[in-house]
Amino acid sequence: MTELEIKTLDKGNMFDVLSNFSSQCEDALKIAEAVDLSGYDFTGIDNIVLNGLGGSAIGGDLVRGYLQYSLPVPMFINRNYSMPGFASDKTLSIISSYSGDTEETNAAFIDSLNKNCKIICITSGGKVESLAKENNLPVFKLPKGFQPRCAVGYSFFIVLKIIQKLKLAEINEKEISETIRIINDLSTVYSSQNEMNTALKIAESLKGKLPVIYSGIDVMDVVNYRWRGQICENAETLAFGNIYPEMNHNELVGWRINKDVMKNIVVIYLRDKDDNERIKLRMDITKEIYKRYSEKILEISGNSEYKLARIFEMIYLGDWISFYLAILNNVDPSEIEPIHYLKKKLSEM
C-alpha cells in the first residue's frame, strides 16, 4: 500500500484525523474545562441518560463501561426517540449529537424538557444548539469538520469530564494523561506503511473475509461494538460478533452447520487482562471449537497497566484497521452513501 493509493481514495482525509487523534483528545479536555456548570442546578441526580446515535453515542457507551464499578448512579445510553420511563427531574440527560440535527436525539431532547430533566448538550451546532440556547442550557461546543464516528475523543472525554465536574465519580488524571501519551506513540506506528504496522497487517488478513468478533462483557463489549461498527461503516464490510458469557448460551451451537460460510470467517478475540477468570476460561475452551471451522483466529489485547489506556489502545487499533481495510477494498472510508440515502428518504416522509 502506497501513500498515493491512500490519498487517492481517502477523499475525506480520515488518515489525518486518525493520525492526530491524541490532539483531539487533548482538545476535548480543554473544551470540557472551559464550560462552567456552577450556575446551573445539577443537585439530586440519581441517574444519567446519554442520548445519542452512532459516533455520538459510542463515547457514552465507553464512559458507562469504564465507570461501571465506580459510578454510584446508573448510566443508560438511549438510542431512541423518547426518554425511558424512569426519567424525571432527578435525571441528568446528556444530549450528544455531533451535527445537532440527529432526528432521534432531537426528539429525546424535547422529551427531556417535558420530563424536567437536568440537561447538558454536546454538539457542533444545529437544532441542539438552538434549542439549548432557547432554554438557557449549557453547551459543550464541538469544532465542525469531523465525521461523527471520528469524533469519539470528544464524545468520550467531554462526557467523562462532565461526570467529574458534577462530582458523580472520581477520575484518575494519570490514566487520562497516560492514555493520550500511548495514543500519540501508536499514531507513529499505525500511520507508517511498513512491516511494524499491526493495523495494516490485520486489515490485510481481513480482506475478503467475514470478521466475527468476540469479547468479554466488562468494557470490551463496547470495544467489540465499536470494531464492528467501524468495519461496516468505513470498510463497507459486514462484521458480526457477540459477548461472553451470553454467546455460550445460544450462538455457540451455531458453529456447526454452515461450513461454506465458516471457511471465510476470521474470528477475532478482544481480550483484557481484567476479564473475569471464568470468562477467560470460557474463551479458551470455545476457541477449540472455532478452530474446527475457521481458518484463522486472532487474539488482541491492550498492554497498558491502566484500564482507560487499554480501552483506547483497542479502540484506536480498530479504527486504523477499518481505515486500511477500506483502502484495500478500494473504497473511500468517509463515504456513507447508504446512510445518506436513508436520511433523504426519511426526510421526504
Q: For residue range 81-128, what is the model confidence (pLDDT) as tens digits? A: 999 999 999 999 999 999 999 999 999 999 999 999 999 999 999 999
pLDDT recorded at residue 218: 85
The CA distance from 53 to 155, in Å, is: 11
If we measure between CA atoms, which residue out of 76, 158, 163, 92 comes closest to residue 122? 158
Whether residue 230 is predicted with pLDDT greater than 80 in this model: the reply is yes
For the whole prediction, is pTM greater than 0.85? yes
Reduced to 3 states (helix: H, G, I; strand: E, B; else coil), residue 237 is coil
Structural contact between residues 211 and 268, judged by C-beta atoms closer than 8 angstroms: yes
| 269-279 exposure pattern, b = at least 16 Cβ within 10 A, e = fewer | bbbbeebeeeb
Return mean pLDDT, the chain: 95
Q: Is the dihedral of CA 326, 193, 302, 178 positive or negative?
A: negative
pLDDT recorded at residue 262: 86
The CA distance from 78 to 195, in Å, is: 41
If we measure between CA atoms, which residue out of 221, 183, 220 comes closest to residue 317? 183
If we measure between CA atoms, which residue out of 129, 191, 183, 165 comes closest to residue 45? 165
Q: For residue range 241-250, what is the model confidence (pLDDT) as tens digits? A: 999 999 999 9
Q: Find the mean pLDDT for residues 271-282.
A: 96
Q: For residue range 28-75, what is the model confidence (pLDDT) as tens digits? A: 999 999 999 999 999 999 999 999 998 899 999 999 999 999 999 999
pLDDT recorded at residue 259: 79
The CA distance from 318 to 324, in Å, is: 10
pLDDT recorded at residue 139: 98
pLDDT recorded at residue 317: 98
Tell me which of 105-109, 263-267, 307-311, 332-336 is least confident. Answer: 332-336
pLDDT recorded at residue 45: 98
* Domains of the chain and any CATH numbers: 35-171 (3.40.50.10490), 193-328 (3.40.50.10490)
Reduced to 3 states (helix: H, G, I; strand: E, B; else coil), residue 266 is strand
Known catalytic residues are 233, 249, 343
